[in-house]
Amino acid sequence: MRIAVLTGGSTPERDVAFAGAAQVVAALRQLGHEVTTVDTTAGQLSADDEARLLVSAVGREPPAEDELRRLEKLELGPALVALPAVRDADLVFPVLHGEQGEGGALQALLELAGVPYAGSGPLGSALAMDKDVAKHLFRAASVPTPDWRMWPVEPAAAAADLGLPLVVKPVKAGSTVGLTIVRDAGNIEAAVRVALAHDDEVMLETFLPGREFTVGILGERALAVGEIIPSHEIFDYECKYTPGLCREVFPAEIPDRLAGQLREAALAAHKALKLRDFSRVDFRVTPSGTMGCLEANTLPGVTRMSLFPQSAAAVGIDFPGLCEAVVRLALARTRRGNKVQS
């Protein structure tokens, strides 16, 4: 099968995308597929480009803003689907992160071009990327989520409503880029400025102390619950991608009842956002047992340190098997859609 892996991009998670693509490309080739790799800023990668860019290691910090601005000007946009590697593919497998890859525009472009692809559609992608909208849908589906307010809001009023500490974060960014835990209302505006460097919308959210959990979703199945135990207070960019700074336990060492509740809530969140094929849903649980859904990831990380593959491995699905399952889910869905249209 001809599969085009889309990766790279011009978001702060560019290096994460390349690291994930390195794993996916190797697995798909191992399975016998004909795989081409396409950077959305540079087009199809040569063998030399792959050797240089598709490395499993991710730096401690995202790429510099100046470099991201330069890359953003190189984004192929609609020209992407005119590339033979994309246009003639039996399936596109996106390994992209941030709004450009997960926000729905790429998915809409592929659909307009009639190119089959893995993962959630334009609507589900957009709903999950916008954390404000997603939290409203979580509440409507009875999935608990921490209270929040959208900026602008009076800092003292936000602190009174949400409590301290609180979290300030961009609405449409991933890997905790631009996120700050604020302990004093006087520091809220400074934290907002940090978040605004990454997005034009900012959210203030109640901070839930306690343990952090994640659940992978594959098709209509909730996979294993995992616990994330970072060396920092939160599971930030450095902890996510620096070996030794975080311990991840799959399956989580928690009572069966809590594990079942987390899996049930994860699947409900996945469905509430109209996601498909695969996702990963993140939670925090306080010492008193209060559960809060933080977000759903439509294109979860697939690096060698990523949580989604670990969630699958804990239920007996190895990485090549996971990639093949995603491919089969996407193709089955595409075939069903073609039958309905005909």
pLDDT in tens, 64-97: 989 999 999 999 999 999 999 999 999 999 999 9
Q: Are 187 and 234 in contact (CB under 8 A)?
A: no
Q: What's the distance, Cα to Cα, between the start and end of the chain in Å?
A: 23
Question: Distance (Å, rounded) from C-alpha 144 to C-alpha 269?
Answer: 10
Query: How, if at all, do strands 291-297 and 211-218 pair?
Result: unpaired
Kindly state the percentage of the chain with pLDDT values over 90. Answer: 85
Q: Are residues 163 and 235 in the same domain?
A: no
pLDDT tens across 198-214, in order?
A: 899 999 999 999 999 99
Model-level pTM?
0.93
Q: What is the mean pLDDT of residues 287-311?
A: 95
3-class SS of residue 80: helix
Give the domain extent around 249: 129-144+210-320
d(CA 321, CA 28): 9
**15 and 101 inside one domain:** yes
Position 10 pLDDT exceeds 50: yes
The verdict on residue 52 lying in a domain is yes
Same structural domain, 134 and 163: no
The DSSP bridge pattern shows strands 211-218 and 221-230 to be: antiparallel
Question: DSSP for 140-170?
Answer: HTT-----EEESS--HHHHHHHH-SSEEEEE
Confidence check: pLDDT of 340 > 60: no
Helices 14-30 and 319-341: angle between axes, nearest 10 degrees: 90
CA distance 96 to 19: 10
- For residue 342, pLDDT over 50 is answered with no
Vertex 331 angle, CA 325 and 335, to 5°: 145
> Can you give the pLDDT at residue 12?
87
Given a contact cutoff of 8 angstroms between Cβ atoms, the answer to whether 296 and 280 are in contact is yes
Same domain, 134 and 234: yes
Torsion of CA 138, 139, 140, 142, to 10 degrees: 90
Mean pLDDT in residue range 326-335: 94
Say yes or no: 139 and 67 in one domain.
Answer: no
Backbone angles phi, psi at 67, to 5 degrees: -65, -40
Instruction: For residue 196, give the H/E element and its range.
Output: helix 188-196
Domain annotation covers residue 341? no
pLDDT tens profile 90-132: 999 999 998 889 999 999 999 999 999 999 999 999 999 999 9
Q: What is the pLDDT of residue 243?
A: 67
Residue 339 pLDDT > 60: no
Number of domains in the chain: 3
Mean pLDDT, residues 189-205 taken together: 96
- The model's pLDDT over 27-75, given as tens digits with 9 standing for 90+, comes to 999 999 999 999 999 999 999 999 999 998 887 788 898 999 999 999 9
Decide if 330 is inside a domain.
no
